[in-house]
Structure 1
Amino acid sequence: MEIWAQLILDFLDEVIKRPTVLIGNSVGSLACVIAASESTRGLVQGLVLLNCAGGMNNKAIVDDWRIKLLLPLLWLFDLLLKQRWIASALFDRVKRRENLNNILLSVYGNKKSVDDDLIEIIQRPANDEGALDAFVSVVTGPPGSNPVSLMPKIAIPVLVLWGDQDPFTPLDGPVGKYFSSLPSQLSNISLYVLEGVGHCPHDDRPELVHEKLLPWLSSLPRP
C-alpha cells in the first residue's frame, strides 16, 4: 500500500505539478489516504473516498466479530495459497467468466451495471503474466496502513461517499462505522450514504456520485 501511495505522490510531483484532488475506491481510497497523510509539499488539495478499505485484505479488520470468526479460516487459506498448485487452481476458478459475473453481482447494488464490458475489464489483467503472484500477494500479504490512524492527520477537505449495500466494507462494520463517525469529529470531512449502491459507487450509480461530487469540487478553494 505504501508503495502505491508513493507512486501517487511521485506522479503528482513529476507530472501534474500542482495541487490535485485524489479520488479512490476501496484500496484505492486507502492509497489516497496514505498519500495525503505523507504529502509534505501541498500536492494533495482534497480527497474523495468511495467505500474506503480498512486494509489490503481482511486481516486488517481484526475488531469485527465477523472477521474474528473467520480468522482461523483466513490463516488456513493463506497457508494453502503458499502451495502454488493450490493457488493456481483457485485463481483459475475465480477468474472464470461465470464466477466473476456472480462475484460482481454480489458487489453491485445496480445489477444492470454488471455487463460484458465490466467482466472483460476485470478478467483481462487476470490473464497477464504475474497475475497469479499478484493475487497471492494481495490475499496473503500484510494489510498495510490503517485509515483509523491516518485520517486525524489529514486537514484538507475530504468527501466520503459510501454505498449502503457494500458487502466488503459494510456501514455496520468497523471501517464503515469509523468513517460514519468522522463528520461529527472533524470539520473537514463530509459524508454521504448512497442508497442502493454497493462497493463501487462510481460505476454502480455514477449519477448519485456526481450529484454529491460535483458541488463539493466546486466548493473547494482555487489552488
Structure 2
Amino acid sequence: MTQAVTPLSALTPLDWTWRDQQIRYTVQGKGQPLLLIHGFGASIGHWKHNIPALAAQGYQVFALDLLGFGASAKPAWDYSLDLWQDLLRDFWQAKIQQPTVFVGNSIGGLLSLAMLANYPDLCAGGVLINCAGGLNHRPDELALPLRVVMGTFAKLVSSRLTGPFIFNQVRQKSRIKNTLYQVYGDRQAVTDELVEMLYEPSCDPGAQQVFASVITAPPGDSPTELLPKRQHSLLVLWGDRDPWTPIKGSQIYQDLAAQNAGVEFHPIPGAGHCPHDENPSLVNSLILDWLQRLG
C-alpha cells in the first residue's frame, strides 16, 4: 500500500564533517529527537515518506547517510558495525545531545539495537524494521553449498581484478530493479526514483571499494547478544513477505513481546524487506502510537 509521493526535494540536505569525511544528513521538526538509519546501499531518501509525517506530529527527525553510502564520503576504510556506531555516537554528540529514539531498517535496525545496548545514555527507545541479524551472514548460518558460493563471491568482489567488473554488473539499474522486485512485497513501491536513489551513489569514486569492504566485513554482534544488554523499550515491525530476513527470524522478538519484556511486535501484512517505504501509512501510524505511549 503506497501513499502520496513525497519528493526527495522535500528533504533539505545538510553536511557535517566526521574524521575529515563529509556526512550527509537532514533534520525536520521540533520536539523529541528521532534518528533514522537506513539499510545496506540506501540513504536518507529511503525515509522520504516517514520524515515529514513523523516531524509533523511533534518530533525532531534526523536522518543521515552512513559513511560509504548515499551522499556521504566513501573512503577506502574497513567498514564495520563498530565504525558506524562510532559515527552515530559522534553525530548524536554534535547535533542532538538529548535521549533519542533510534529507528532503523535492516542493517540500520541492527545498528539501532547496538546503540541501545552499548550507549544506553544516548537512547530513549528503539524501532527495528526488519532488523538484520548481522552485517553479513555468519558461516554457520548457511548451508554448505551456499557457504561455498558466498565465500567465493566475497573473494571475487574483493579482488582488484574481478571486483570492479562484478560491482559494475551488480549496480546496473535493471539489476537493482529486479532485486527490489524480489524483496519488496508491493511492486508499485519500486519506482524509477527509488532505483535512481540506489544507483546514483554507486557511481561515486570509492563505491566499489566500500561494497567490497562491507561484503567481506565481520557480521558483528547478533541480536541474541545485544538484546539482553538493552535498557529501553523496543518497537519491532516486520514485513511478512521479506525473503532476505524472513519473519520466522523474528521469533526472538515475538517471544519477548509475549513476555511483556519491553518489546512490542507488529507484522506488516504484504510488505517485504522495507515496509516503511512499501506501506508508510501503517508504519508511521504504528511508530507514532508507540512513541505516544513511550512518552
TM-score normalised to structure 2 length = 0.69
Query: Structure 1 residue 178: deviation in Å?
Result: 2.5
Q: Residue 84 of structure 1: SS of its match in structure 2?
A: coil
* Letter in structure 2 aligned against 1:22: F
Query: Structure 1 residue 167: deviation in Å?
Result: 0.9
Deviations 1:111-166 (A, max 9, x none): 11101110010001101111000111111121111111001111211000000011
8 Å CA contact 2:256–2:262 kept in 1: the answer is: no
8 Å CA contact 1:58–1:67 kept in 2: the answer is: no
Which of 78, 86, 95 in structure 2 is aligned with 1:15?
Answer: 95
Aligned pairs (5 A) from 1:66-81: 67-81=143-157
Equivalents in 1 of 2:181, 2:158: separation in Å? 29
2:234 counterpart residue number: 158
2:210 counterpart residue number: 134
- Which is strand-richer, 1 or 2? 2
* Letter in structure 1 aligned against 2:122: L
Q: What's the C-alpha RMSD, in Å, of the aligned pairs?
A: 1.5
Equivalents in 2 of 1:89, 1:81: separation in Å? 9
1:187 counterpart residue number: 261
8 Å CA contact 1:2–1:34 kept in 2: the answer is: no
* Letter in structure 2 aligned against 1:44: C
Q: Residue 138 of structure 2: SS of its match in structure 1?
A: helix
8 Å CA contact 2:116–2:231 kept in 1: the answer is: no
2:135 counterpart residue number: 56
8 Å CA contact 1:108–1:197 kept in 2: the answer is: yes
Equivalents in 2 of 1:68, 1:217: separation in Å? 43
* Letter in structure 2 aligned against 1:182: L
* Letter in structure 1 aligned against 2:250: G
2:275 counterpart residue number: 201
1:87 aligns with 2:163: yes
1:29 aligns with 2:109: yes
1:149 counterpart residue number: 225
1:44 aligns with 2:123: yes
Query: Structure 1 residue 79: deviation in Å?
Result: 2.1
- Which is helix-richer, 1 or 2? 1
1:217 aligns with 2:291: yes
2:51 counterpart residue number: none
Runs of 4+ in 1 over 3 A off after TM superposition: 66-69
Identity %: 37
Query: Structure 1 residue 201: deviation in Å?
Result: 1.0
Q: Residue 145 of structure 1: SS of its match in structure 2?
A: coil
8 Å CA contact 1:37–1:150 kept in 2: the answer is: yes
8 Å CA contact 2:117–2:231 kept in 1: the answer is: no
Q: Give unpaired runs (5+ residues) of structure 2.
A: 1-80
The number of aligned residues is 215
8 Å CA contact 2:157–2:167 kept in 1: the answer is: no
1:4 aligns with 2:84: yes
Equivalents in 2 of 1:55, 1:194: separation in Å? 22
Q: Give unpaired runs (5+ residues) of structure 1.
A: none
Query: Structure 1 residue 68: deviation in Å?
Result: 4.6
Distance 1:46 1:67, change over 3 A: farther
